[in-house]
Chains A and B, each alone.
Chain A
Amino acid sequence: MTWRSRIVTPWIGTGVDGDVNRPTFADAGLPHLSWVDVTGQDAANLQPDPNAYTIEVTTTAEADLNAIAEVFVELWREEVTDEP
């Protein structure tokens, strides 16, 4: 059983080796299983103004999502029940 949430997070980075473009969430040290960009925004125009970006985060517990929601704006969350 896992939990899934979409959050808004600014992008950081300069797009080079050692400082790749990435969501701020990736450096936040918050517990999670995975995240994925759900916007597919063009790499050439990655950091919009305002710099607000959406990713989908997966965690093992709802408590982890609660901790994430204290730092980032959460759009929605759901419990993932379709794992075989």
Chain B
Amino acid sequence: MPAPAILGTSRRWSPRYLLYDEFITPDAAPLTSPRTCEPGPGTLAITDTASVLSISGGQLTKVPDATSPFMLEDPATFSAGTCIFAVPTLAAGSLTSQARIVLQTAAAANLVQAVDLSVATVRWGFRVGTGTTNMADPSATAGVQGTVGIIVSGSSFVFVFKIVGSVATLMAVFPITGTPGRWLFNATGPATDGAIVYARVGRLDLTIPINTSIAGTDWSDPYSLAIVKDTLTESAGVLLSAHTPEKGSTWVALLNNFVMDAGGYFIMSGGEARCAMETGASDVFIIGELQRTGGAPCVAFRVVDVDNQWWASRESTISALYEVTASVIVSRASVSVSNDSLVNQVSVRASGSDIRVYIRNNAGTYTVGPAYTSSIHQTATKHGVRANANSGARIHGFYCWPIDITNSLPEGL
């Protein structure tokens, strides 16, 4: 049975599923476990102690239920190029229901959750670990069915994506810590919310050779899709503007410059430093590897010129968002973070007017950073780094991915 083409018809490669269930044959609760997927391949272990699951009309439905989450378990191993996805719909107006793809350890500790969360209006989001790191997308529309998924890339990176209509959007790129053990499709929701419906779930291998019309992206490499990859490996004394990134264009010094320190990181040279490079994309997901022993190292994004740009900082006890317009620096939002003088990842997701920052410390713990809504400098396509303390604000790495990944995923997801 051909897969429904959510991503359009321009790509002629059909995904080769390793697990695929369209819930074809009607089946009343309780469902039999393990379930043989239809049309297959694969089986799913079902946990449904309250018998809230049934299949009808080509959909798996979880009726409103106050206490009993259900789980469809896929014990597949965590390997590069794995793409796991689901197509859930939450009832419009649901308050706290969630349909999730969860990556857990063998001991059932959550590593990553891709979430379809309904709070008055349906939001898409994801969480890392068991904390409160929830990264929602306010642009989603209530009651609209879409695809949410996770792609494993490399040995530890995951990409969280969503597809609504014909547009596939990157939600986040991040490394995980912990040893993955199993994938789950699960859902929770109170009796006061509407039913949660799954149209299909699946898993496929995106390392299988693909047609060149799919942009040639190799999802087993986390930097295949990146438009900038710069580990900032350089000889001591070399200026950033003379440094060539592994992937990306030329670094341009906008204010003073950065120089490679003997310690193996770039520091400002000549005073507060601002450098950026042209990427061709304004809606991006950026990871800056910053270390703060003084001052405020920043990811600079949506850089128009030296006097017009945005900064996401990693300071001693805060992460802040700064708007720089006509050379005036304005602090627009701030979030408290633990003091940490080790290398942190400062991630910026800039999508339209929605700007969100996430902080990953050296131990792998995430904190939701500042978020802000602004169309200032929204179309600027240069991004880079900024530092303001000699040797105290250190830049270790810089990476950038486009948000729109429509042409990098196969038809049929």
Write the residues of chain A forming the contact surface with B, with a CB cutoff of 8 angstroms: 13, 15-18, 20-23, 26, 32-37, 40, 43-44, 46, 82-84
Asked if A21 and B117 make an inter-chain contact with CB atoms under 8 angstroms apart, the answer reads: no
Q: In whole Å, how far is B295's beta carbon from the nearest beta carbon of chain A?
A: 9
Provide the bound-state CA to CA distance between A42 and B332, in Å.
11
Q: Quick check: is B272 within 8 A (CB to CB) of the other chain?
A: yes
Which residues of chain A have C-beta atoms less than 8 A from B332's C-beta?
A: 36-37
Closest CB pairs A-B (n = 3): A15-B328, A36-B333, A43-B325
Q: In whole Å, how far is A49's beta carbon from the nearest beta carbon of chain B?
A: 17
Asked if B371 and A36 make an inter-chain contact with CB atoms under 8 angstroms apart, the answer reads: yes
Q: Quick check: is B66 within 8 A (CB to CB) of the other chain?
A: no
Q: In whole Å, how far is B184's beta carbon from the nearest beta carbon of chain A?
A: 16
> Of the candidates A18, A46, A83, which one forms a contact with B330 in the assembled complex, judged by CB atoms under 8 Å apart?
A46
Provide the bound-state CA to CA distance between A15 and B324, in Å.
9
Given contacts A40-B374, A82-B119, A84-B134, A34 and B329 within 8 Å (CB-CB): no
Q: Quick check: is B336 within 8 A (CB to CB) of the other chain?
A: yes
Asked if B328 and A33 make an inter-chain contact with CB atoms under 8 angstroms apart, the answer reads: no
Given contacts A15-B328, A40-B374, A84-B98, A20 and B322 within 8 Å (CB-CB): yes
Given contacts A34-B370, A36-B371, A17 and B388 within 8 Å (CB-CB): yes
Asked if B336 and A15 make an inter-chain contact with CB atoms under 8 angstroms apart, the answer reads: no
Provide the bound-state CA to CA distance between A20 and B95, in Å.
39
Which residues of chain A have C-beta atoms less than 8 A from B5's C-beta?
A: none
Provide the bound-state CA to CA distance between A82 and B323, in Å.
29
Provide the bound-state CA to CA distance between A17 and B386, in Å.
11
Which residues of chain A have C-beta atoms less than 8 A from B373's C-beta?
A: 40
Q: List, sorted by A's number, 23 A–B pairs whose CB atoms are closer than 8 Å.
A: A15-B328, A15-B330, A16-B329, A17-B272, A18-B388, A20-B330, A20-B331, A21-B328, A21-B331, A26-B331, A26-B334, A33-B336, A34-B333, A34-B334, A35-B333, A35-B334, A36-B333, A40-B373, A43-B323, A46-B330, A82-B95, A83-B132, A84-B96
Known contacts A21-B328, A84-B115; 15 additional CB pairs below 8 A are A15-B327, A17-B329, A17-B388, A21-B330, A23-B331, A26-B334, A33-B336, A34-B333, A34-B335, A36-B370, A44-B325, A44-B326, A46-B330, A83-B132, A84-B134
Q: In whole Å, how far is A55's beta carbon from the nearest beta carbon of chain B?
A: 9
Given contacts A33-B335, A37-B372, A43 and B330 within 8 Å (CB-CB): yes
Q: In whole Å, how far is B129's beta carbon from the nearest beta carbon of chain A?
A: 13
Q: Quick check: is B292 within 8 A (CB to CB) of the other chain?
A: no
Provide the bound-state CA to CA distance between A49 and B224, in Å.
52
Chain A residue nearest in CB terms to B369: A34
Given contacts A20-B322, A34-B370, A40-B374, A84 and B333 within 8 Å (CB-CB): no
Provide the bound-state CA to CA distance between A23 and B332, in Å.
9
Which residues of chain A have C-beta atoms less than 8 A from B323's C-beta?
A: 43
Interface centre among A17, A18, A21, A32 (most CB of B within 10 A): A17
Contact with A along B369-397 (1 / 0, CB 8 A): 01111101000000000001000000000
Chain B residue nearest in CB terms to A44: B326
Q: In whole Å, how far is A32's beta carbon from the nearest beta carbon of chain B?
A: 7
Chain A residue nearest in CB terms to B97: A84
Q: Quick check: is B302 within 8 A (CB to CB) of the other chain?
A: no
Q: In whole Å, how far is B194's beta carbon from the nearest beta carbon of chain A?
A: 17
Contact with A along B305-339 (1 / 0, CB 8 A): 00000000000000000110111111111111000
